[in-house]
């Protein structure tokens, strides 16, 4: 069999581990060959390929990013996009395709599977917001990076008696903020699922200073104030899947807190630092297993499926299940953390 492989959407630590796992098992156990498509769906659209053999995957396990490159290309927004993909898969002799990506990439994979393309999906996103799987790889690395930043910010905030606001990624789901905030001992965590009350935030800031500590606030980029969104910022730019570019809530929040409480407040935006560099052990473990199971699904001809973590087992679920809804933070999980605020 010849198997195509691509990585789409925002990159995340662990993508190379998936590629390596699939190629190593595919070649050594099943005798399959691979074709790497560059930059997500752009690769099969433009027939842009790279060699993907055992040599190509040597030494990539600890490397962040993706050796295949990535993009947010949407073939359904391009004229004859689907036909071009089908033609180029055929031209490369591909019997199947492994698509590694988040809601957008897997959304495209789901539609292609319905149109008869032999595709198996692997879920990835640092946001951890895909349904159908308990965790996505990349999330644990992002949380650890954010936690380390919070640890460092505690000591400098204390020295200067300042509020420090840490903006983390998370457009619609606050998983990174919640997990990193809990692990780093943040005093307030603000997430998109729970519009925040600025008066309450300021009261918590003041109560923190009253006990001679400096507050650390972790805020998801997609968090919004309860009173109508005057503090949220979007750049107006949209990607091929229609997502607006977020950013700026940390700064807006810091200046609002400073104005209202008189306490000096600064913001730190972690941005793409959360997506870069080497994956944690957990992410390498999960991504490698996803790769091994994805090629097994391909070998068995079990197409239209996505590999998923359920407990400690890797299972296969219909591709549509991974993208049918966003997995957001449940109210009881947020309330559990709220006990520690202020
Ligand atoms: O989807 C993953 C993610 O990192 C989001 O948390 C973030 O909003 C978005 O990607 C940023 O996208 P880009 O790297 O294209 O700016």
Verify whether ligand 1 is closer than 6 Å to residue 127 (CB atom). Answer: yes
How many residues make up the chain in this entry? 342
- 335 C-alpha to center of ligand 1: Å? 26
> Looking at residue 236, what is its pLDDT?
60
- 12 C-alpha to center of ligand 1: Å? 10
What does the block give as tokens for 107?
């959304």
Each residue of 230-274: pLDDT tens digit?
Answer: 555 555 677 888 787 777 999 999 999 999 999 999 999 999 999
| Residue segments in the chain with a per-residue pLDDT below the cut of 70 | 228-236
Verify whether ligand 1 is closer than 6 Å to residue 169 (CB atom). Answer: yes
- 295 C-alpha to center of ligand 1: Å? 27
> What are the strands of the beta sheet with 33-37, ordered from one edge?
49-51, 33-37, 2-7, 96-101, 119-123, 305-310, 313-318
- Residue 58 neighbours by CB under 8 Å, 6+ apart: none
In angstroms, the CA 117 to CA 248 distance is 40
> What are the strands of the beta sheet with 216-220, ordered from one edge?
188-190, 216-220, 163-168, 265-269
103 marked as part of a ligand binding site: yes
252 marked as part of a ligand binding site: no
> Looking at residue 40, what is its pLDDT?
98
63 marked as part of a ligand binding site: no
Phi, psi values for residue 262, rounded to 5°: 80, 0
Each residue of 1-51: pLDDT tens digit?
Answer: 999 999 999 999 999 999 999 999 999 999 999 999 999 999 999 999 999
Verify whether ligand 1 is closer than 6 Å to residue 243 (CB atom). Answer: no
Q: Is 239 a catalytic residue?
A: no
Q: Whose CA is nearest to atom 12 of ligand 1?
A: 10
272 marked as part of a ligand binding site: yes
Q: Whose CA is nearest to atom 1 of ligand 1?
A: 10
> Looking at residue 136, what is its pLDDT?
97
The Cβ-side half-sphere exposure at 122, using a 13 Å CA radius, reads: 32
Verify whether ligand 1 is closer than 6 Å to residue 123 (CB atom). Answer: no
Of 104, 127, 129, 251, the active-site residue reads 127
> Looking at residue 237, what is its pLDDT?
72
In angstroms, the CA 162 to CA 147 distance is 19
> Looking at residue 245, what is its pLDDT?
73
Instruction: Give CA 126 to chain center in angstroms.
Output: 2
Q: Which domains does the chain have, with CATH numbers?
A: 2-137+279-323 (3.40.50.450), 139-276 (3.40.50.460)
171 marked as part of a ligand binding site: yes
What does the block give as tokens for 25?
């098992």
126 marked as part of a ligand binding site: yes
Question: With a threshold of 0.75, does the pTM exceed it?
Answer: yes
* Index of the ligand 1 atom closest to the CA of residue 275: 4
Place of tokens 């603000």: 190
> Looking at residue 323, what is its pLDDT?
84
- 36 C-alpha to center of ligand 1: Å? 23
Verify whether ligand 1 is closer than 6 Å to residue 10 (CB atom). Answer: yes
Please choose, from the candidates 250, 149, 243, the residue with its C-alpha nearest in 3D space to the C-alpha of residue 196. Answer: 250
Is residue 74 classed exposed, middle or buried when 0-12, 13-18 and 19+ CB atoms within 10 A define those classes? buried
What 3-state class would DSSP assign to 111? helix
Q: Whose CA is nearest to atom 13 of ligand 1?
A: 10
What 3-state class would DSSP assign to 17? helix
- 312 C-alpha to center of ligand 1: Å? 27
In angstroms, the CA 78 to CA 45 distance is 9
Verify whether ligand 1 is closer than 6 Å to residue 170 (CB atom). Answer: yes
Q: Which of 10, 69, 125, 276 to mutate to test the pocket of ligand 1 (most atoms within 8 A of CB)?
A: 10
């Amino acid at each position: 069999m010849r198997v195509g492989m691509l990585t789409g959407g925002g990159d995340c630590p662990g993508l190379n581990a998936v590629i390596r796992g699939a190629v190593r098992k595919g070649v050594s156990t099943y005798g399959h060959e691979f074709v790497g498509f560059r930059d997500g769906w752009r690769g099969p659209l433009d027939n842009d390929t790279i060699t993907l053999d055992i040599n190509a995957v040597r030494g990539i396990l600890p490397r962040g990013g993706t050796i295949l490159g990535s993009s947010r290309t949407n073939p359904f927004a391009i004229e004859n996009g689907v036909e071009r993909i089908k033609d180029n898969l055929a031209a490369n002799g591909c019997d199947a395709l492994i698509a590694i990506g988040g809601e957008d990439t897997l959304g495209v994979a789901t539609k292609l599977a319905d149109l008869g393309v032999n595709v198996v999906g692997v879920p990835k996103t640092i946001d951890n917001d895909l349904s159908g799987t308990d965790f996505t790889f990349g999330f644990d690395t992002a949380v650890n990076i954010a936690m380390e930043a919070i640890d460092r910010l505690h000591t400098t905030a204390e020295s200067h008696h300042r509020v420090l606001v840490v903006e983390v990624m998370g457009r619609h789901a606050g998983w990174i903020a919640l997990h990193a905030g809990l692990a780093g001992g943040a005093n307030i965590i603000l997430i998109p699922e729970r519009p925040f009350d600025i008066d309450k935030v300021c009261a918590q800031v003041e109560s923190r200073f009253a006990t001679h500590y400096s507050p650390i606030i972790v805020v998801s980029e997609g968090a919004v104030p309860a009173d109508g969104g005057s503090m949220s910022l979007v750049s107006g730019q949209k990607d091929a899947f229609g997502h607006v570019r977020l950013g700026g809530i940390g700064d807006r929040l810091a200046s609002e807190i400073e104005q209202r409480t008189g306490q000096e407040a600064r913001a730190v935006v972690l941005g793409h630092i959360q997506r870069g560099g080497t994956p944690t052990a957990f992410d390498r473990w999960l991504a490698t297993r996803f790769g091994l199971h994805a090629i097994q699904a391909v070998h068995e001809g079990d197409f239209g499926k996505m590999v998923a973590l359920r407990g400690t087992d890797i299972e296969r679920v219909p591709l549509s299940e991974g993208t049918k809804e966003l997995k957001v933070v449940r109210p009881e999980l947020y309330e559990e953390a709220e006990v520690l605020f202020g």
